[in-house]
Structure 1
Amino acid sequence: MKIVIASDHAGFSLKEEVKQFLQSKNHEILDLGTHNSDACDLSDYIYPAALAVAEGKAERGIFIDGVGYGSALIANKIYGVYAAVCQDPFCAKLARSHSNTNVLCIGAKIIGSAIALETIDSWMNTDFLSNTPKYKLRVDKVTTISEKHLKKLSEI
């Protein structure tokens, strides 16, 4: 699977570990930065990474900042991107199976690399329960909200 990853300076070190972990699982990685631990603005990296997911240049995204919420806030502004902040494997499994998220946001100041990698593994290996009517209906409702309030990239 092709996965875009991005971070700010707070998430840089963990992003590098995540990149190696995903490559060891034979995923193709599109790393949009940051490429060092110098202070930077999160949106300079997360926005292009979210666009990569929305444009189909990557199937999924993993974004890492200090807490995770900044990345999710930015990513969820883009039509077709459904990002969730997860700090443990259980939440990651639910974010995929119940909500069909295509972006995982992690806080490097919140969890260490071992639990982060377990969280990512859980998220990557969980499918959306599309055959379960209540989850499909919930996701369809969220998609309807997006269609009502967000512009498709083709309309921009």
Structure 2
Amino acid sequence: MELVLQVKYALHAAKGMRHLHRIHRMHRDLKCDNLLINVNGIVKVADLGCTKIAPKIDDNPVRTAPEIFRGEAYNGAVDVYSYGNTLWEIITAKIPYFEKFDRGMMAGEILEQVVRCDLRPEFPVLCNDDLKKVAESCWNGNPLVRPTFEDIVQTLQGIWLTIRADEM
């Protein structure tokens, strides 16, 4: 996918999540499977069924923030962590840790490395550095250090303006 679409989709998803957080809701199941693109190319955050208080563990738990699996109290920063994985999916068009699954690792083994060893998906060599930095900031092991969706939207708007200016 070309960079303009990557940034556009990432920005739309971040704006949707910013709205949820502004109304004090956590999505808790953010992933590309839960993003819809309408006929006008607008991304909408969908599947709000996990906005309850109890954490839901999806079919691929490695997308979920480590603090949930450590049994710690958590807040909207779990969505920011998941957004980092979602951004990685937008950039690569792959499932996080796909190469580890292909090598026979089980989700539990990968999750153990995510939680205890700060394992994160690897970016391809040819990847936009600015988008990579956004995703990496979202993956910070300390939820207090992760950016907010306000921060993410601001950063992505700056990236958007830069790449649009480069096209002219």
The structure in which a higher percent of residues are helix is 2
TM over 0.5: no
Q: Which has the higher strand share?
A: 1
Rg comparison, structure with higher value: 2
Q: TM-score, normalised by structure 2?
A: 0.29
**Greater relative contact order, per chain length (Cα 8 Å cut-off, separation 6+):** 2
